[in-house]
């Protein structure tokens, strides 16, 4: 499990007027955004590995992002991106594995073959899960996305040695939780739909995730989430 909690003083987000930090000066930097679920994956991974002193957060304001980020750091112009050993590594799922493999700290993936097999299946399913739920927000909500949460409920019942996807906490939980966090809040607020109703394993998983300091410190204000999703999805209806 994750190391003891480290309470961080989070640096302010950089906007278009901010100066660029030195590049490839030996400091490992995680370019992130405090409200982005993809970047949150890498942020949780960093925290779970106990790397707060080894990987420096460089938060960006994505609505007013600095031009130097695309021009000099990461041409894809997305977060997260990790500056490490003279190169830039992007893509949130790749970064979970990269940070786990290239830094010290507790391993985020099990050795057990059956767990690794389910882990690969869930890893490959996460984009489909997100697609189903996001698409439902533009349609009839719970009527269209209930099956996605049923799939998670079923997956959470495969191993009995813990409440997480692979029994014990792993990178698979990190891959899903930023999106489940947002979907739960939005569906409850806008559709009055409780994703945990009739899904006790999903409820227990969310409860256990909320006990993990490495994750709790990365959560976004629920009110801010709802307002952002309302703006994003109701404007399209």
Yes or no: say if 180 and 203 are a contact pair by the CB < 8 Å rule.
no
In this structure, the number of other CB atoms found within 10 A of the CB of residue 170 comes to 24
Q: How many CB atoms lie under 10 A from the CB of residue 138? A: 13
Quick one: what percent of the chain has pLDDT higher than 90?
A: 92
Question: What is the pLDDT confidence band of residue 7, given thresholds at 50, 70 and 90?
Answer: confident
Would the pLDDT of 179 be above 80?
A: yes
pLDDT of 193-224, one tens digit each?
A: 999 999 999 999 999 999 999 999 999 999 99
> What value does the mean pLDDT take over residues 17-26?
97
pLDDT of residue 37: 97
User: Above 70 in pLDDT, residue 139?
Assistant: yes
Residue 6: pLDDT over 60:
yes
For residue range 28-67, list pLDDT tens digits in order.
999 999 999 999 999 999 999 999 999 999 999 999 999 9
Q: Under a CB-based contact definition with an 8 Å cutoff, are residues 93 and 175 in contact?
A: yes
* Region of poorest pLDDT, from 2-6, 76-80, 148-152: 2-6
Which tokens in the block code for residue 209? 């995730």
CB 98 within 8 A of CB 104: no
The model carries a pTM of 0.95
DSSP 15: -
Supply the DSSP string of 132-195, one letter for each residue.
HHHHHHTTTTHHHHHHHHHHHHHHTTS-SSSSBTBBB--HHHHHHHHHHHHHHHHHHHHH---T
């Amino acid at each position: 499990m994750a190391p003891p909690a480290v309470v961080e003083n989070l640096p302010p987000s950089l906007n278009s007027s901010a100066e660029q930090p030195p590049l490839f000066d030996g400091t490992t930097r995680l370019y992130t955004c405090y409200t982005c679920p993809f970047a949150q994956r890498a942020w949780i991974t960093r925290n779970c590995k106990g790397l707060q002193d080894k990987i420096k957060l460089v938060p960006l304001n994505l609505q007013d992002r600095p031009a130097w980020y695309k021009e000099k750091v990461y041409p894809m112009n997305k977060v997260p991106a990790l500056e490490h050993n003279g190169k830039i590594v992007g893509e949130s799922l790749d970064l979970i594995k990269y940070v786990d493999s290239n830094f010290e700290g507790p391993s985020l993936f099990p050795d057990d073959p059956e767990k690794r097999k389910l882990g690969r299946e869930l890893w490959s399913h996460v984009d489909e899960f997100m697609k189903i739920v996001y698409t439902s927000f533009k349609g009839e909500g719970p009527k269209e996305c209930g099956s996605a949460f049923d799939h998670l409920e079923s997956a959470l019942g495969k191993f009995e040695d813990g409440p997480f996807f692979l029994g014990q906490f792993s990178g698979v939980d990190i891959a899903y939780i930023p999106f489940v966090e947002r979907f739960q809040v939005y569906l409850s607020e806008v559709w009055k739909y409780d994703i945990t109703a009739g899904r006790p394993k999903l409820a227990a998983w969310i409860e256990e995730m909320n006990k993990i300091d490495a994750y709790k410190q990365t959560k976004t204000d629920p009110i801010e989430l709802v307002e952002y999703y309302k703006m994003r999805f109701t404007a399209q209806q």
